[in-house]
Amino acid sequence: MNASDKTIVSLTHVAKHFGAVRALDGVDLTVTAGECLGLVGHNGAGKSTLMNVLAGTLSADKGTISVHGHDLSGRYSVSTAGENGIRCVFQELSLCPNLSVAENARIFHPSLTGFGWKRRAGDMIHAKLDEIFPGHGITPDDVVADLSIGKRQMVEIARAFTTTNAPLHLVILDEPTSSLDAVTSGQLLDFVRKVVGSGISCILISHVLGEVLNYADRIVVMKDGLVVASKPGSDFTRDTLVAAMGNVVEVEEIKDHQAFEAKRGQTEIVIEARSDTALDSVPLVAHRGEIIGLAGLASHGQTTMLLKIYDAAMRNKRTPKVDGPVALVAGDRQTDGVFHLWSISRNVGVRSLRRMVKRGLIDPLAEAALGREWQERIKIKTPDMDDNILSLSGGNQQKALFARALASDADIILMDDPMRGVDIGTKLEVYDLIRDEAAQGRTFLWYTTEMDELYNCDHTYVFRDGAIVADLTRDALSEEKILQSSFQESA
């Protein structure tokens, strides 16, 4: 391989417009062999569009794409990307839920045909899963619909690294760790370093800045459809990176909240719940105005607990005790959150319909007013709240879901890891909002897979195998303690 072959892909002046929105406004990007490129930026900065162009699923309006020195602009498609060894793990999962893991691997490899293809596909994906995520517990015959969202993400990542006859040069990982817990995220990132060492390149898009800072060789910062910085990873610190992304809010604000310390017992108990396992060391208790964190490894009973509480509130059950109306902010927003065919206003207002009824019908003025109010309060970036919800970027869709819960009459807000794939600016805005609302007497139950978010919580309950194993106050909270409780052997 000579020096000119070191460049795998180079994009020059790539532009992509969606109507009046300039998603990409002339981007230059090169990826060289054996490099891990970190890509960061706000939601709506154009990262996902850029990756779609690179993966061939969107064609650029302007600019050139060349792979290994060959100019492919104008005839670049998904299959040319595949032939040239460029793969993409998309943020919203691209597995077919009705097919098995092995069959999904087959979809990815046109050459897997003929007698015995199923066994070959199964062996291939299983070996790769073993290599990246030891102890994954997935078999090739599992139907994807039966797997948890974290396991689906593992399958999708492993699939992108499998090879048949086409070479593999570049894997794009768009928010790969958003549904993974700390351990599997670590496994993946270590694997990425190993792969990069063997000459394959990766583009890592993540809102968890620590991941990018620790694992990327070079970091590219995007803002408003442009590349605004491109420097070796070691030249950035967390603060300079945030500054480059153009956030006005300082990261330190997260820690500031620690100054505020509500003492338990000043307000009445609104939730008291136990898991179904009968192994809880403590019950989950929430007082009015508290922010309660649910921690632990992904899918160890946190979502089940939230749904149990939601169910109890909706059907007026005696146990668990829930005092007050509830609203749920979904984590898997495409499946459980947004109504795809509705406008943003309608998506926000659907939890508050009863309030907007006039003579038996929904009052369109009230609905529009509610939409406008929340557009302002929560800063949903859109020219018109009557636009379809899918015209928003992922982070803004999530904001709309928050607005839906906060606009409702609910005293208790349940949050099911709502910040998956949301940029740090949006996160900080939402944290502020949650704190304000809590100060006004709303109670939050917050399942999160991100350690930083737990520092916003008054109390954190750690879950393991469906049971509550620890109750940590904010003073006692530390990453070590959470990991310790998450992994304790129940000997």
Query: Among residues 187, 203, 93, which one has the least CA distance to residue 144?
Result: 93
Mask for 351-390, x = binds other proteins (CB under 8 A): ----------------------------------------
Name which of 115 and 134 has its Cβ closer to other proteins: 115
Note whether 397 binds other proteins by CB under 8 A: no
**Lookup result for tokens 């417009």:** 17
CB 245 within 8 A of CB 425: yes
Q: Give CA 311 to chain center in angstroms.
A: 25
For the record, the structure tokens of 164 come out as 């048949």
Question: Binder to other proteins among 2, 4, 113, 440 (CB under 8 A)?
Answer: 113
For the record, the structure tokens of 442 come out as 């709303």
Which 8-state DSSP code applies to residue 217?
S
Question: Binder to other proteins among 5, 98, 163, 194 (CB under 8 A)?
Answer: 98
b/e string for 73-110 if b means 16 or more Cβ within 10 A? eeebeeeebbebbbbbbbbebbbeeeebbbbbbbebbe
Q: Provide the minimum distance between the beta carbon of 76 and other proteins in the complex, in angstroms, as a whole number.
A: 12
Query: Among residues 324, 328, 339, which one has the least CA distance to residue 389?
Result: 339
Note whether 163 binds other proteins by CB under 8 A: no
Sign of the four-CA dihedral 296, 302, 303, 304: positive
Name which of 88 and 348 has its Cβ closer to other proteins: 88
Question: Binder to other proteins among 108, 191, 444, 446 (CB under 8 A)?
Answer: 108
Name which of 112 and 430 has its Cβ closer to other proteins: 112
H-helix segments, 220-314: 238-245, 252-256, 302-314
Question: Binder to other proteins among 15, 72, 107, 226 (CB under 8 A)?
Answer: 107
CB 306 within 8 A of CB 468: no
Note whether 95 binds other proteins by CB under 8 A: yes
Interacting span for other proteins (CB under 8 A) from 100-108, 203-211, 342-350, 389-397: 100-108
Note whether 104 binds other proteins by CB under 8 A: yes
For other proteins, the binding residues in 13-72 under the rule CB under 8 A are 55-57
CB 242 within 8 A of CB 424: yes
How many Cβ atoms are within 10 Å of 256's Cβ, its own excluded? Answer: 10
Interacting span for other proteins (CB under 8 A) from 113-121, 250-258, 342-350, 483-491: 113-121
Q: Provide the minimum distance between the beta carbon of 108 and other proteins in the complex, in angstroms, as a whole number.
A: 5
Tell me how many residues contact other proteins (CB under 8 A). 28
Name which of 65 and 348 has its Cβ closer to other proteins: 65
Question: Binder to other proteins among 17, 62, 118, 435 (CB under 8 A)?
Answer: 118
Q: Could you give the maximum distance between any two Cα atoms of the chain, in Å?
A: 76
Q: How far apart are CA 191 and CA 275, in angstroms?
A: 35
CB 112 within 8 A of CB 120: yes
Interacting span for other proteins (CB under 8 A) from 34-42, 68-76, 87-95, 376-384: 87-95
Name which of 113 and 490 has its Cβ closer to other proteins: 113
Question: Binder to other proteins among 38, 82, 176, 289 (CB under 8 A)?
Answer: 82
Question: Binder to other proteins among 32, 62, 117, 226 (CB under 8 A)?
Answer: 117
Q: C-alpha dihedral over 366, 372, 373, 375, to 10 degrees?
A: 140
Question: Binder to other proteins among 106, 169, 218, 333 (CB under 8 A)?
Answer: 106
My answer on whether omega of the bond before 320 falls inside 30° of 0, hence cis, is: yes
β partners of residue 415:
329, 446
Name which of 8 and 160 has its Cβ closer to other proteins: 160
Interacting span for other proteins (CB under 8 A) from 91-99, 258-266, 287-295, 452-460: 91-99
Note whether 97 binds other proteins by CB under 8 A: yes
Helix and strand numbers (H, E) in the chain are: 16, 21
Q: Provide the minimum distance between the beta carbon of 122 and other proteins in the complex, in angstroms, as a whole number.
A: 12
Residues at the interface with other proteins (CB under 8 A): 55-57, 77-79, 81-82, 88, 90, 93-99, 103-104, 106-108, 110, 112-114, 117-118
